[in-house]
Structure 1
Amino acid sequence: MSGHRPVVVGIDGSPSSLQAVAWAAREAAFRNSPLSLITTMFVPGRYGVPIGVPASFFQDEERDGKDRLERAAQTARDAVPGYDIDIETTVCTGTPAGELLARSADAAMLVVGANRRGIIDRAVLGSVSSAIATHAPCPVAVIRGEPDRDINDIPGPVVVGVDGSQHSEPAISMAFEEATLRQSELVAVHAWSDIVLELSLDGGSEAEWTRDAANETALLAENLAGRAENYPDVKVRTIVVRDRATRHLREQAENAQLLVVGSRGRGGFSSMLLGSTSRALMHSVVCPLLIVR
């Protein structure tokens, strides 16, 4: 458990950021962690905008920021009735991504909403979520806003992507922990090919593929074995496919309450901090996505 390390949430007042707050409040309650809510105020000149605004501008910006945080704090309290979570609120003057990253080293998790209703929303929110998912050392949760659903009432299992590399090891551990906290089933998906190949009519090739599939199934079992012993109450279901990981993880996420993936897979270059699979899922899945470095 993370103990005193906070769950940090970026607030911009949008419906998706408030759903991110509700989700993060539950996560903080599960972990007995404080909840840190931060928002940013616009500072003329810092972003290349000429200075020359009324003196009341800063007071108005700060007041708006405090109002956003007050609504967010109430949203957090309403999301976890019966829990007395410690909530801290801060109005910052830096960029949203910069402020979140500055807190990432000491955070249990960063949480950001990503509604993406229009072109501007997709550009701004996408850049913030991509930046923190790429550079934050702690886990990053991306919450896609669903206005007609309570984000904490989404049913289904916790799904984790397993590729057999060391990069998925932390994600597996985190997924078991989340399944325990949520008292849910864990679905482990292992896609053992990064390209789509049609089954050959040649019998030898089919036999080889059958052998490879057995080896990959054994590899998945090996990856899960130690953690399954540490979490005996978690029911684990495994899925092994010879196909692209992104497509099958997206399919499983449609009926999941949480999808957990590593930040970079076995095919990523050492300089690539955020892999193609996690990046694609961040912009496509509907359920909460947790990216673990």
Structure 2
Amino acid sequence: MTEQLGDDVREVVVGVDGSDGSRRALAWGLREAFLRRVGLRVVTVWTGGSPPGDGDAPAAVAEFEEALEARVRSDVAEAARATGAMAVPVVPEVRYGHPARSLMDVAAHDGLLVVGARGTGGLRGLLLGSVSQQCAQHAACPVVVVRGDVPGERIAELRRVVVGVDGSEHSVAAARLAHDEAELRDAQLHVVHTFADTVSGYGGPLWVVPDTTLAEQAEATLRASLRAAGLDALPGDRVRAEVRQGIDWDVLLDVAEGADLLVVGSRGRSGWAGLLLGSVGLHAVTAAPCPVVVVRPRGAAG
């Protein structure tokens, strides 16, 4: 049995800014806190310097923060009615400064940080450099980027969690968290490993690696990943494990269509040592059809 990461999550932290994307993130985070039986901290980061009002007078600041917290509580009440997660303790918090840094400071290493794919501050088509991507690259804790439609309005409707593995430490950590998420939801865990023939296209016929050999190597990597994550002994109806041929991010995004959650490691086995977010993680947080969790192993530099 794997180590239960859910036991280590102190609280769920959601960043909100009043946008539709952050409201979807709030609904997801509220459900997650309900399932994990932890509290929810809803953080609004004001980036405009001093709060609006009469200078920096304490009364003006307090009034400004009360207005923000009232809006948050209204959004929380609406999300709770939609999800059925009525009993979650919620703490609204206002911070000032850099959005991503502030959210990561609150979540620290033992929170679960949830953000929308795009908020009110970015251009509609601008994804690179967004708060969500900065958090996915640098946070010390797992980061959920809520993309696409959140499947199901009620907790009981969630049913499938997808994770990509490649034998790396990052993907093993992702598989462990994905297992926890699937158990919380009573969902099937779908574990996918991909392989592609990247040799024959360059080397010509004499350098072609037979598909059977590549497939056998991929099957071995999948089995080793399952063993390392402690998933190899789980019942077959709870875990579906398969090898697919193709480009890793294309395959994962295709498999994740209609899923409740896609879980990926922050960097795979082919990533450079100094790369904070690998190509699969980058494609996931910018193009996945469902919410994405980016996982970094404990103690990994971020």
Per the normalisation by structure 1, the TM-score is 0.83
Alignment of 1:194-273 (within 5 A): 195=198, 205=208, 208-225=210-227, 227-228=230-231, 231-232=234-235, 235-273=238-276
Provide the C-alpha distance between the structure 2 equivalents of 1:92 and 1:13, rounded to a whole number of angstroms.
Answer: 15
Instruction: Report the counterpart of residue 139 of structure 2 in structure 1.
Output: 136
Instruction: Report the counterpart of residue 3 of structure 2 in structure 1.
Output: none
Provide the C-alpha distance between the structure 2 equivalents of 1:260 and 1:247, rounded to a whole number of angstroms.
Answer: 14
State the 1:230 CA deviation: 6.4
Provide the C-alpha distance between the structure 2 equivalents of 1:145 and 1:8, rounded to a whole number of angstroms.
Answer: 20
Q: State percent identity of aligned pairs.
A: 35
Flag structure 1 segments of 5+ consecutive residues without an equivalent: 47-51
Distance change in 2, residues 1:216/1:148 (3 Å): closer
Instruction: Report the counterpart of residue 101 of structure 1 in structure 2.
Output: 104
Q: Counterpart of 1:28 in structure 2: which amino acid?
A: A
Deviates more, 1:147-156 or 1:168-177: 147-156
Cα displacement string for residues 88-136 of structure 1 (whole angstroms, at most 9, x for unaligned residues):
1111112221211112324431000124799624548951011111110
State the 1:259 CA deviation: 0.3
Alignment of 1:19-168 (within 5 A): 19-44=24-49, 54-55=54-55, 58=61, 61-81=64-84, 84-115=87-118, 120-123=123-126, 127-144=130-147, 146=149, 150=153, 156-168=159-171
Flag structure 2 segments of 5+ consecutive residues without an equivalent: 1-5, 297-302
Instruction: Report the counterpart of residue 7 of structure 1 in structure 2.
Output: 12
Q: Counterpart of 1:219 in structure 2: which amino acid?
A: T
Distance change in 2, residues 1:40/1:174 (3 Å): same
Provide the C-alpha distance between the structure 2 equivalents of 1:197 and 1:203, rounded to a whole number of angstroms.
Answer: 8
The counterpart of 2:289, out of the listed 279, 286, 290, is 286
Distance change in 2, residues 1:86/1:279 (3 Å): same
Does the CA contact (< 8 Å) of 2:11 and 2:40 recur in 1? yes
Q: CA-atom RMSD, angstroms? A: 3.4
Distance change in 2, residues 1:165/1:223 (3 Å): same
Q: Counterpart of 1:281 in structure 2: which amino acid?
A: A
Distance change in 2, residues 1:125/1:6 (3 Å): farther
Distance change in 2, residues 1:131/1:194 (3 Å): farther
Provide the C-alpha distance between the structure 2 equivalents of 1:251 and 1:241, rounded to a whole number of angstroms.
Answer: 11
Distance change in 2, residues 1:282/1:82 (3 Å): closer
State the 1:5 CA deviation: 0.1
Distance change in 2, residues 1:194/1:253 (3 Å): farther
SS state at 2:84 partner: coil
- The answer to whether 1:277 aligns with 2:280 is yes
Does the CA contact (< 8 Å) of 2:84 and 2:155 recur in 1? no
Provide the C-alpha distance between the structure 2 equivalents of 1:195 and 1:60, rounded to a whole number of angstroms.
Answer: 60
SS state at 2:123 partner: helix
Provide the C-alpha distance between the structure 1 equivalents of 2:71 and 2:30, rounded to a whole number of angstroms.
Answer: 16
Distance change in 2, residues 1:70/1:2 (3 Å): same
Distance change in 2, residues 1:74/1:266 (3 Å): same
Distance change in 2, residues 1:125/1:83 (3 Å): farther
Q: Counterpart of 1:266 in structure 2: which amino acid?
A: R
SS state at 2:267 partner: coil
Does the CA contact (< 8 Å) of 1:114 and 1:126 recur in 2? no
Distance change in 2, residues 1:182/1:69 (3 Å): same
SS state at 1:271 partner: coil
Provide the C-alpha distance between the structure 1 equivalents of 2:199 and 2:280, rounded to a whole number of angstroms.
Answer: 15
Provide the C-alpha distance between the structure 2 equivalents of 1:4 and 1:188, rounded to a whole number of angstroms.
Answer: 23
State the 1:81 CA deviation: 2.8
Deviates more, 1:220-229 or 1:143-152: 143-152
Provide the C-alpha distance between the structure 1 equivalents of 2:197 and 2:38, rounded to a whole number of angstroms.
Answer: 38
State the 1:242 CA deviation: 3.3
Provide the C-alpha distance between the structure 2 equivalents of 1:21 and 1:5, rounded to a whole number of angstroms.
Answer: 17
Provide the C-alpha distance between the structure 1 equivalents of 2:127 and 2:63, rounded to a whole number of angstroms.
Answer: 22
